Structure 1
Amino acid sequence: MSASYLAQAQRVVVKIGSALLTDAETGKLNRTWLQALVEDVARMRARGQEMLIVSSGAIALGRRALKLAPGKLKLEESQAAAAVGQIGLAHAFQEMLSAYGHSCAQILVTLEDTEERRRYLNARSTISTLLKLGAVPVINENDTVATTEIRYGDNDRLAARVASMMSADCLVLLSDVDGLYTAPPHLTGATHLPEVAEITPEIEAMAGGAASEFSRGGMKTKLAAARIATDGGARMAIANGHGLHPLKAIEDGARCTWFAAHSTPYAARKRWISGSLKSLGALVIDDGAVKALTQGRSLLPAGVATVEGIFGRGDAVSVRDKAGHEIASGLVAYSSDDARRIAGHSSHEIEELLGYSGRAEMIHRDDLVLKKG
């Protein structure tokens, strides 16, 4: 059954470790391996699945191009190496994906871009649009400007946050290990775990360290990623990606460890909006808007009668009817000042009123949670 998880997923995030992209002997990009992976991605796209790639490797590739000495790099050396490596990495993905008729988009983010709500909304909106247009986003950590993010194993967590942010239902961490074992795999008696229903203290105790020179992630960071992904509604797999066509191998039943999702991506996002965020203001809406929301539609500016409080784009706000009853809560697409300017107006008037073309919705239905009762 677990072999079918990947084939059945609607939206898949694939994280590629540095050790897979880089030839161990030459330090160059392993084009043969990457070509096989892109073939897997193209095959999955052809059957209707949305694909996102979170890629390590920029620093590893850049350090070779800059002829930096082996061993630990200084922060500024890591950033310089990333700046060089990102160009080659993006070009390789673009060249290979275009051969299958797919556009490739490079997006550079840090962990803060998936945590701070305004930047989160911008990133989610951009990536969602790329997916709707049929592109394959290739997401790299912005190591050229990051400081605290350049550390051990961060791309595993970044991939999990991207999966959660984009409501993916499957995350695959391709690495140099084939999953979680009860003890370090080289020890006698170590047993492979094909599925993990819950990350307990006993499961955490099984985690080991980093597995290779290029890998900044170890099993501990992969378990941290699993917590983020499964809480966000995605199944997650840890799989050995060293062979050619690693995604097809997973579908064909190759050994890996699957972590069970705790809910659906949709339910997890709605729970986060309704239970984890403090409302900083309120939108009072008319009867027509109340009816539209109960029918599952977005909240448009035309239905907003009054704007209360001071808030920014991406903040949580309460939605009330004119009698004062709370109807919903959600992430608003406009600051309180701009919301007041467009309240009661049609969406096509937004550009004229604000001087820029914003979102048609005051709160998109994906960012809105109706109150029970």
Structure 2
Amino acid sequence: MSKNKRIVIKVGSGLVVSEETRAPRFAFLHGLMADIAELRAKGHEVVLTSSGAAAIGLDMIGIEPADAGLQDKQAAAACGQPLIINAYKQVALEFGIGIAQVLLTSEEMENRRRYLNTKNTIERLLKNGILPIVNENDTVTTKEIRVGDNDRLAAKVAQMIHAEEFVMLTDIDGLYDRPPHEPGARFVPEVTDVADFLDATTGKGLLGSGGMLTKMQAANMAQNAGASARIAEGIIEAPISSVLSGRRRHTHCLAHGDPQSAWRVWLTDRLQMAGSVTVTAAAAAGLRAGTQGIGTADLVATSGEYQKGDVLHVYDEQGTEIGRGLTNFSSNETMLLVRCSEEEVSDVLGYDSHSDIIADRDFALLGEHNLSWDRPAESELASMG
């Protein structure tokens, strides 16, 4: 690894916090920070995404992990955030590294303006030699707006800053073709298409919210942005550099040869589904041919309570996801426009706007390596008929 690179590292709760004592695992943190210091000394820029705040705070509120609900986890995160960042600060000071805490929700990742503001903040920290430590802001997130796992949050950060390497450190040495405790399970050293292995990715840890499934989803997001994703065991000595140099076993998810544009990556790789629309067969053909946007006459059904500027998932009538696009109208406005399709937008809504629900320039087809999402259930769809 001779060229200076941007590296995003994700470490899970089980590595950062002891399951027995629910205290920081300082031996691991010391080995991690020593390796980060070595990478930075070689000219690489590093961003760390760390779980552990809620896990370390559970003792303070007297709740067992298995019994913790959303409000318990929010309170535990509020208790644990200062403890976990202080642990990192103590260790980082030994290596002369300044740190900064960056707390994010899915709103920062899904809203384009907030996304760019977050990107600018992280870029400025890197420019000034500060190590950004990113975590989901569990204290304020609700079930509807939380990312739910730091694997995909870290992948979003890797996309955001155009990282070349994305390393996920966990409690296992990589991906297996079936749950590793099953007889005959085989290690998978290299992955091109993560869709081939999604059926083998069940289960998660006691303290964490993600498992191998979220790691493969995160790897796919990084691959789409041209980053090499690696899944490895979080050992104490040189946990990152030993992976990047190939000195120890790990699963390497190869970067795709045609990384998508920053706009397309942001549009197609989502953390949450804000809403969806189902379009007619003719509209689906036009979208696939790249010859049109989506107008009111093209809609068969819609779902979700979305707002103007949200990204909608677009399906054909068979339930196959075609692509994703930025909507010009809220769900209520969309329904109103469909009912009043013969009238001008300004007459219906009281303001001028693009007439398409999703303009052609704001729509992106799913590519070969994008993971599609299932269409919402029929009971969740509002018919336009």
TM-score range normalised by the length of the shorter chain: 0.5 to 0.7
Secondary structure at 2:231 match in 1 = strand
Q: Compared with structure 1, are the counterparts of its residues 268 and 258 closer, same or farther at alpha carbon in structure 2 (3 Å cutoff)?
A: farther
Q: Compared with structure 1, are the counterparts of its residues 150 and 121 closer, same or farther at alpha carbon in structure 2 (3 Å cutoff)?
A: closer
**2:157 is equivalent to residue 162 of structure 1:** yes
- The one-letter amino acid of 1:237's match is R
Secondary structure at 1:34 match in 2 = helix
Structure 2 matches for 1:201-220, cutoff 5 A?
202-210=196-204, 212-220=205-213
Q: Compared with structure 1, are the counterparts of its residues 108 and 274 closer, same or farther at alpha carbon in structure 2 (3 Å cutoff)?
A: closer
Structure 2 matches for 1:227-246, cutoff 5 A?
227-246=220-239
Q: Compared with structure 1, are the counterparts of its residues 126 and 70 closer, same or farther at alpha carbon in structure 2 (3 Å cutoff)?
A: closer
Q: Show CA shifts across 1:155-212 (max 9, x none).
A: 1110111110111111111111211111111222211111111223x322222211x2
Secondary structure at 2:194 match in 1 = coil
**2:137 is equivalent to residue 142 of structure 1:** yes
Structure 2 matches for 1:307-318, cutoff 5 A?
none
Moved more, 106-115 or 248-257: 248-257
Q: CA–CA distance in 2 between the matches of 1:34 and 1:154?
A: 20
Moved more, 252-261 or 117-126: 252-261
**2:71 is equivalent to residue 76 of structure 1:** yes
Q: How far is the alpha carbon of 1:95 from its aligned partner?
A: 2.1
**2:41 is equivalent to residue 52 of structure 1:** no
Q: Which residue of 1 aligns with 2:253?
A: 259
Q: Which ranges of structure 2 fall in alignment gaps of 5 or more residues?
A: 270-308, 311-385
Q: CA–CA distance in 2 between the matches of 1:169 and 1:45?
A: 15
Q: Show CA shifts across 1:38-82 (max 9, x none).
A: 000000000000000001000000112333235221221111100
Q: Show CA shifts across 1:274-310 (max 9, x none).
A: 999xxxxxxxxxxxxxxxxxxxxxxxxxxxxxxxxxx
Pairwise CA RMSD of aligned residues?
2.5
Q: Compared with structure 1, are the counterparts of its residues 149 and 141 closer, same or farther at alpha carbon in structure 2 (3 Å cutoff)?
A: farther
Q: CA–CA distance in 1 between the matches of 2:213 and 2:117?
A: 30
Q: Which residue of 2 aligns with 1:224?
A: 217
Find 1:29's aligned residue among 24, 29, 33.
24
Moved more, 186-195 or 30-39: 186-195
Q: Which residue of 1 aligns with 2:9?
A: 14
- The one-letter amino acid of 1:95's match is Q
Question: Does the 8 Å CA contact 1:151/1:216 hold for their aligned counterparts?
Answer: no
Q: Which residue of 2 aligns with 1:249?
A: 242
Q: Show CA shifts across 1:124-181 (max 9, x none).
A: 0000000000110000110000112787951111011111011111111111121111
Q: Show CA shifts across 1:79-107 (max 9, x none).
A: 11001111011112122222222210001
Q: CA–CA distance in 2 between the matches of 1:154 and 1:274?
A: 20
Question: Does the 8 Å CA contact 2:13/2:208 hold for their aligned counterparts?
Answer: yes
Q: What count of residue pairs does the alignment treat as equivalent?
A: 270
Moved more, 190-199 or 91-100: 91-100
**2:194 is equivalent to residue 199 of structure 1:** yes
- The one-letter amino acid of 1:188's match is P
Q: Compared with structure 1, are the counterparts of its residues 150 and 111 closer, same or farther at alpha carbon in structure 2 (3 Å cutoff)?
A: closer
Q: Which ranges of structure 1 fall in alignment gaps of 5 or more residues?
A: 277-313, 316-373
Q: Which residue of 2 aligns with 1:178?
A: 173
Q: CA–CA distance in 2 between the matches of 1:180 and 1:36?
A: 23
TM-score, length-normalised on structure 2? Answer: 0.65
- The one-letter amino acid of 1:148's match is K
Q: Which residue of 2 aligns with 1:326?
A: none
Percent of aligned positions with the same letter in both sequences? Answer: 41
Q: Show CA shifts across 1:240-277 (max 9, x none).
A: 11444311332352111011111476x5326558999x
Q: CA–CA distance in 1 between the matches of 2:144 and 2:7?
A: 24
Find 2:88's aligned residue among 89, 93, 97.
93
Secondary structure at 1:84 match in 2 = helix
TM-score, length-normalised on structure 1? Answer: 0.67
Q: Compared with structure 1, are the counterparts of its residues 264 and 66 closer, same or farther at alpha carbon in structure 2 (3 Å cutoff)?
A: farther
Q: CA–CA distance in 1 between the matches of 2:171 and 2:8?
A: 18
Secondary structure at 1:246 match in 2 = coil
Q: CA–CA distance in 2 between the matches of 1:264 and 1:49?
A: 23
